[in-house]
Chains A and B, each alone.
Chain A
Amino acid sequence: MASECDLVATWMSRFEATSGKSSLAEIAAHAESCASCQEKLARFFHAVELPASSYLRETVDELALALLNLARALIRDAPGTEETENVRITEDGGGTAAENRLAGEELIADAEDFTGSRHVGEVDLEDLRAELAATEERRTRRTDLARALFKRITTLACRSRAKAWNWLGVLHYQREEFAEAETAFLAALADVDGARDARAFAHCNLAYVFKHRGNLDAAVKSADKALVLAEEDGRDPYFAAFAGVYLRLARGAPADLERASGLLDEILRAPGGRLRYLQDLGLPSNAPVKNIVSKSSLGKCLGLGD
């Protein structure tokens, strides 16, 4: 600890003093050679060193968001025959592919202007530009383009990384690559900056992975976590509740039917909830869910019973 010196403290409270004003330059010069005053100034201004501009970080963040929205648009607009037909996009908006491509190109130019280089960290901006151009040419399948974009986002230091990992997990899951899907969902949960944006969905998706592995206890636990986190993070709790009903009926433990009934009640009570649930049950990928619900006492409430 440096020896006590009150010059800066006196200067800071000088509006109370009647004399002895020091100029800012004198104070700055003094603080350079006085550790005690330097410390006081640092505490007062939080940090004497000026923080670096957030421009590049924000630009990369926006670039990642544009890439994410572009990939989402590619999946959303993909023909139904592709492997994305069962993928549900939970959040509306995000713009069209063309809008996001344009935004991405502008943001790449901004990052290039700022650094004066085609590289930002490990990322080659020219490669990224080529990837964007490829999404327009559509020589590759949309899902492959989207997957490449999601992978790219996971390499950027940005807030969209957790969402991109979650999407990658979903695409792996659709291909029944369960180990890769689990790794991706866990990566989404491990991301410190953006986990809050994706954790409810990642837990919900993990529940289906566990179900496929035959671990119904883990699946139910994960679905329960997803429901709690969705409510905590202000996300749509429908998907977690949907999974909760299915997985509890599948497990069939003593209290499961009662809990599944409670979850179904919550789904049906929501505006348009009944129609939404029945429509989802009608999807080909949800045939196992429909089957199990129909066979249970809950099926009768929905008019699905035998």
Chain B
Amino acid sequence: MLHHPLLDAVAEAASKAPPRSHQREILQRATAMLSELHRQIADSATPERVREKLRHFVAALEASHERLGQRMLEPTFLLNAVGEAMGRSELIHQAVVSFVQVGLYFFGLDQIERRWPREAVSCSAVHAEHLGTFISRDGLKAVIARAKARLAEGRPYCLSWHYLNSLRTAFLSYCRHSHDALDHTAVVEELDAMAREVSTDTSAENRMQLVLDVFRTELTPEQQRIYLAQHGTVLSGETPSPLAELMGLAGGDSGQLGWGEIAARVGLSEKSAKREYLRALHALLAGVARRTFGPGPLPVAMVRRIQDALLSSIREKDLRLKDHNTGRGMGVLVEKWQVALRFVLASERISA
């Protein structure tokens, strides 16, 4: 019976890993992979050309083990060592792919929990799907090509990094194409943070300018006053707001007023004031989206749907905005509108 130090070390680490842990699952797969490779190397029925490649692969892994010692038994190191060995031996073998699949699956879940806990649900679903693409023929050929290129340049190749980067791209692409508004509402806080971040740079200032411009040019004076009255708390305070100054409304209608008060000030019925408010929201979002995405139909289904919901409420004879159970209350509609507006404003950043 031949002695295989790496196989023994991996098998021992697997037996010591906590039961039902990801580490144990990965190490068990690694044990199975190494056992199968050694079996095929020893089997004379294996074509000699393949045996040579298998020997090369195992030798590369053993070299990594020698270099890394016990650290090699940590899942990420193990995955990266296997990725490097794949590149060096140009080998795509079913036992190796099976290990890579399970290893990247658990590695991905851990990373999602750690890096993107708030988006973990939708990101995990993307991860489960993306992994299939990553280990398809094209995906695995790309792994080999990338590993070979990196190693030829004398640089390390990290399979884990390669996967995580491709997952991030896949997730952002999913977010852009998602038709489910819930996927976007889950990241409202991130979008808030983005909005805060971007307000400090030039491009963000441009976007704020864009909103102001739309506000000034595409809303009627009546709609502007109602909007400011409704959202006025952000303008109140000792320092005059540039927006209030710009509109010439500082100290005027800005402030948190009830709908009865607002309606009285603009000389409309309460219902008409609310309708004008919804028209203001619709015009703002439409204007910002048009200037962000260009003319034509909105490319983001979630934004389109919220615009449709606003229009449908505006066209309702009785407005019917009080039924909170159906999600059509004014508050719910405004929240959705805020999400959509932030999404449109952040979309340049997302697609960058």
Q: Is A50 an interface residue (CB 8 A)?
A: yes
- Chain A minimum-CB-distance residue to B100: A53
Contact with B along A97-124 (1 / 0, CB 8 A): 0000000000001101111111000000
* Pick from B22, B53, B131, B186: contact of A50, CB under 8 Å: B131
Closest Cβ–Cβ distance, residue B161 to chain A (whole Å): 21
Interface 9-mer from A54-62, A69-77, A235-243, A281-289: A54-62
Q: Is B132 an interface residue (CB 8 A)?
A: yes
| A59 CA to B92 CA, complexed, in Å | 11
State whether A55 touches B136 (Cβ < 8 A): yes
State whether B137 touches A59 (Cβ < 8 A): yes
Interface 9-mer from A24-32, A179-187, A262-270: A24-32
State whether A117 touches B125 (Cβ < 8 A): no
State whether A118 touches B47 (Cβ < 8 A): yes
* B interface residues, how many (CB within 8 angstroms): 40
State whether B94 touches A112 (Cβ < 8 A): no
State whether A50 touches B91 (Cβ < 8 A): no
- Chain A minimum-CB-distance residue to B105: A50
| A113 CA to B86 CA, complexed, in Å | 12
Q: Is B40 an interface residue (CB 8 A)?
A: yes
Q: Is A51 an interface residue (CB 8 A)?
A: yes
State whether B22 touches A25 (Cβ < 8 A): yes
| A115 CA to B47 CA, complexed, in Å | 10
Main secondary structure of the interface of B (DSSP, over half): helix
* Pick from B22, B49, B186: contact of A112, CB under 8 Å: B49
Known: A50-B105, A55-B137, A58-B136. A117 touches B46 (CB 8 A): yes
State whether A54 touches B49 (Cβ < 8 A): no
| A58 CA to B131 CA, complexed, in Å | 16
Taking CB atoms, residues of chain A closer than 8 Å to B140 are 53, 55
| A55 CA to B98 CA, complexed, in Å | 11
State whether A24 touches B113 (Cβ < 8 A): yes
Closest Cβ–Cβ distance, residue A11 to chain B (whole Å): 8
Known: A50-B102, A51-B132, A53-B98. A112 touches B113 (CB 8 A): no
Known: A45-B124, A113-B53, A116-B40. A53 touches B94 (CB 8 A): yes
Q: Is A12 an interface residue (CB 8 A)?
A: yes
State whether A112 touches B47 (Cβ < 8 A): yes
* Pick from B45, B110, B135: contact of A24, CB under 8 Å: B110
| A55 CA to B21 CA, complexed, in Å | 28
| A13 CA to B50 CA, complexed, in Å | 49
Q: Is B109 an interface residue (CB 8 A)?
A: yes
Q: Residues on B close to A: CB < 8 A? A: 20-22, 36, 40, 45-47, 49-50, 53-54, 91-95, 97-98, 101-102, 105, 109-110, 113, 118, 120-121, 124-125, 128-129, 131-132, 135-138, 140, 186
| Extra inter-chain contacts (18) besides given A54-B136, A117-B47, CB under 8 Å | A15-B186, A25-B21, A44-B125, A46-B128, A46-B129, A53-B136, A53-B140, A54-B132, A55-B97, A59-B137, A112-B47, A114-B92, A114-B93, A114-B94, A114-B97, A116-B36, A116-B93, A118-B45
29 sample A-B contacts, Cβ–Cβ < 8 Å, listed by A number: A12-B121, A24-B109, A24-B110, A24-B120, A25-B22, A28-B20, A29-B20, A44-B125, A45-B128, A46-B128, A53-B140, A54-B135, A54-B136, A55-B136, A58-B137, A110-B92, A112-B50, A113-B50, A113-B53, A113-B91, A113-B92, A114-B97, A115-B94, A116-B40, A116-B50, A116-B94, A116-B95, A117-B46, A117-B47
The 10 closest A-B pairs by CB, nearest first: A58-B137, A116-B40, A53-B135, A53-B97, A24-B113, A45-B128, A54-B136, A15-B186, A55-B137, A116-B46
